[in-house]
């Protein structure tokens, strides 16, 4: 069975680069029309060009997810252009790491504003549009992170927002099920995007790779494949889950390896 999203309209936030762009391209390959949202217009325009090369229709809507009015305008632009909406992927996030004893209020607000408030407000606007639409229901996928399940150095606020994303996912899944809207999360492990490539260049191979049972970093398409599945008919009876896509990292530990294995 091939995953087919022909005729569907999908909003992807943070679609200007990284995982979000790959998700947008995967939906385009599966036949969907895609609304690409982020702040940097040139990047989402480039994503739209890629969507159209794949034979689908794209729409770039510059959006700052910290601004409630821009969130409403994004959903309005998508419905005005395409009619009904089918899928929302809340992928955009802000990640600021550093000494937890000196985090600024601006950094904290940026992470809370995009990673939690933005995710909720856009889900709310999308759900209302789906409910007012053609009655065929819809699907939301929130991109969380395995660090939402862990304690990771230098990022307690980011970890908190990603744990919160799963909390929102569960909460919304319960609330929206009777409107025919499934809500799930995908939690990537370390995934090869430009900023991670830069980190690899600066630091050499990262020690985390040792702790990934499947022995490699994630690729953006690993995450996009999981999103495509969760928003497809194959997952029509799945809601409220958080699917880690991390090569097994979050459910395994190397803590006692040296103690019990001789080599
Ligand atoms: N890469 C990883 O290793 C990894 C691991 C675990 C989880 N994740 C999660 O996966 C998702 C994508 O990560 P990524 O690595 O692909 O991120 P990225 O390359 O840093 O891209 C982030 C995207 O979010 C957009 N964005 C940031 N602030 C925004 C705002 N205020 N309004 C609208 N859009 C905004 C950015 O565009 P503008 O700056 O132009 O607005 C950009 O398109 C995130 O939720 C991240 O937490 C990533």
Q: How far apart are the CA of 94 and the centre of ligand 1, in A?
A: 6
Tokens encoding 121: 């407000």
**DSSP assignment letter at 102:** G
- Phi first, then psi: what are they for 238, rounded to 5°? -115, 120
Q: Token match 């928003």: residue?
A: 231
CA 53–ligand 1 middle distance (angstroms): 23
The full set of domain ranges for the chain reads 9-260
pTM here?
0.97
Report which ligand 1 atom has the smallest distance to the Cα of 39.
Answer: 41
Look up residue 204 and give its two tokens. 């050499």
Residue 186's DSSP bridge partners are 143, 243
Out of 11, 60, 92, mutate this one to test ligand 1's pocket (max ligand atoms within 8 Å of CB): namely: 92
Average of per-residue pLDDT across 152-179: 96
> What is the model's pLDDT at position 5?
97
**Structure tokens that stand for 54 in this block:** 């794949």
Task: Point out the ligand 1 atom lying closest to the alpha carbon of residue 190.
Answer: 3
Res 196: pLDDT: 87
Q: Active-site positions?
A: 144, 158, 162
d(CA 74, CA 81): 11
37: its two tokens: 């949202």
Count helices and strands (H / E) in the chain.
9, 7
Which class is 9-260 in CATH?
alpha beta
Give the number of the atom of ligand 1 that is nearest the alpha carbon of residue 194. 19
| Rounded Cα distance, 189 and 245, in Å | 6
d(CA 3, CA 8): 12
Query: d(Cα 209, Cα 198) in Å, to the nearest integer?
Result: 16
**39-80 pLDDT, tens digit each:** 999 999 999 999 999 999 999 999 999 999 999 999 999 999
Give the separation between CA 249 and CA 189, rounded to whole angstroms: 7
Strands of the 242-245 sheet, one edge to the other: 58-62, 33-38, 9-13, 87-90, 138-143, 181-188, 242-245
User: Lowest-pLDDT range, 139-153, 159-173, 207-221?
Assistant: 207-221
How far, in Å, from the CA of 36 to the mean position of ligand 1? Answer: 13
Q: Is the CB of 188 under 6 A from ligand 1?
A: yes
């Amino acid at each position: 069975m091939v995953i087919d999203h022909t005729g569907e309209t999908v909003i992807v936030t943070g679609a200007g680069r990284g995982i979000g762009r790959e998700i947008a391209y995967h939906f385009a390959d599966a036949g969907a029309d895609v609304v690409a949202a982020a702040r940097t217009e040139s990047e989402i325009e480039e994503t739209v060009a890629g969507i159209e090369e794949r034979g689908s229709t794209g729409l770039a809507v510059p959006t700052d997810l910290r601004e409630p009015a821009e969130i409403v305008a994004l959903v309005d632009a998508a419905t005005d252009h395409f009619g009904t909406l089918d899928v929302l992927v809340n992928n955009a996030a802000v990640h600021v790491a550093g000494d937890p004893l000196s985090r600024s209020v601006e950094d904290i607000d940026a992470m809370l504003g995009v990673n939690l408030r933005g995710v909720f407000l856009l889900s709310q606007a999308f759900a209302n549009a789906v409910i007012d639409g053609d009655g065929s229901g819809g699907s939301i996928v929130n991109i969380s992170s395995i660090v939402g399940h862990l304690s990771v150095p230098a990022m307690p606020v980011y970890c908190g927002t990603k744990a919160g994303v799963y909390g929102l996912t569960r909460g919304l899944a319960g609330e929206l099920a009777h409107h025919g809207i499934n809500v799930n999360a995908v939690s990537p492990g370390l995934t090869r995007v430009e900023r991670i490539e830069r980190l690899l260049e600066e630091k050499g191979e990262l020690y985390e790779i040792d702790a990934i049972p499947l022995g490699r970093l994630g690729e953006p398409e690993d995450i996009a494949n999981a999103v495509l599945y969760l928003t497809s008919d194959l997952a029509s009876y799945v809601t409220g889950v958080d699917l880690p896509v991390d090569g097994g990292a979050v459910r395994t530990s190397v803590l006692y390896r040296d103690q019990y294995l001789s080599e």
